Structure 1
Amino acid sequence: MTKADIAEKIQTTTGLSKKDSAALMESVFAIMKESLEAGETIKISGFGVFEPKQKNARRGRNPQTGEAITIEARKVITFKPSNVLKDAINK
């Protein structure tokens, strides 16, 4: 499913124009992105939790050469689906 598909579903569900549906979707995504960049957790009831986490630097290796390398510390986003979503998917 693409952004265009989501905007179309918003349009058919709410009756908003295509332009307004796309703007609404982009606004929601922008708010979520800003919150995650700020290190905030996003909890959506009945859907799940988006949480930024810090991964420490670690040793790894180049699979082609076998050479040892250091993988830099970085932030990642994890998603944990709610039980409601898990149940709906597994019906």
Structure 2
Amino acid sequence: MSKAQFVENVAKSGNMTNAEAKRMVELVFGEIEKGLKKSKKEGKYTIGTFGTFTITKRAARKGRNPQTGEEIKIKASKSLRFKPSSNLKAAAGIS
């Protein structure tokens, strides 16, 4: 689903204009971003019955180029993971 489709769905569900829905969606996404920035030390940001965003670290490692088989160095990195809450899983029909 694209962001525009998401905004349209919010507008329909909330009985509001697309402009109002877009503002609401931007506010929610902005709050999630702020929360993640604040939680860098903890590496975790939980939103009640929605789920938990976790910042994970990957160590530098060696890998292989699949085309040539040559060994390459892969830099250390960070990634963002999301674990849905049990309520969200139940709503989606996932156990």
Instruction: Give TM class, smaller chain.
Output: 0.7 to 0.9
Count of matched residue positions in the alignment of Structure 1 and Structure 2: 91
2:15 maps to which residue?
A: 15
Question: TM-score w.r.t. structure 1 length?
Answer: 0.83
1:59 maps to which residue?
A: 62
- What percent of counterpart residues are identical? 36
Tell me, what secondary structure is at the counterpart of 1:8? helix
1:71 maps to which residue?
A: 74
**C-alpha RMSD of matched pairs (Å):** 1.8
Provide the C-alpha distance between the structure 2 equivalents of 1:68 and 1:21, rounded to a whole number of angstroms.
Answer: 49
Compared CA separation, residues 18 and 37, structure 1 to 2 (3 A): same
Deviation at 1:18, TM superposition (A): 1.1
Structure 1 spans left out of the alignment, 5+ residues: none
Question: TM-score w.r.t. structure 2 length?
Answer: 0.80
1:86 maps to which residue?
A: 89
Provide the C-alpha distance between the structure 1 equivalents of 2:28 and 2:91, rounded to a whole number of angstroms.
Answer: 23
Structure 1 stretch displaced more, 66-75 or 3-12: 3-12
Deviation at 1:45, TM superposition (A): 2.1
Provide the C-alpha distance between the structure 2 equivalents of 1:72 and 1:34, rounded to a whole number of angstroms.
Answer: 26
Compared CA separation, residues 54 and 46, structure 1 to 2 (3 A): same
Provide the C-alpha distance between the structure 2 equivalents of 1:34 and 1:69, rounded to a whole number of angstroms.
Answer: 35
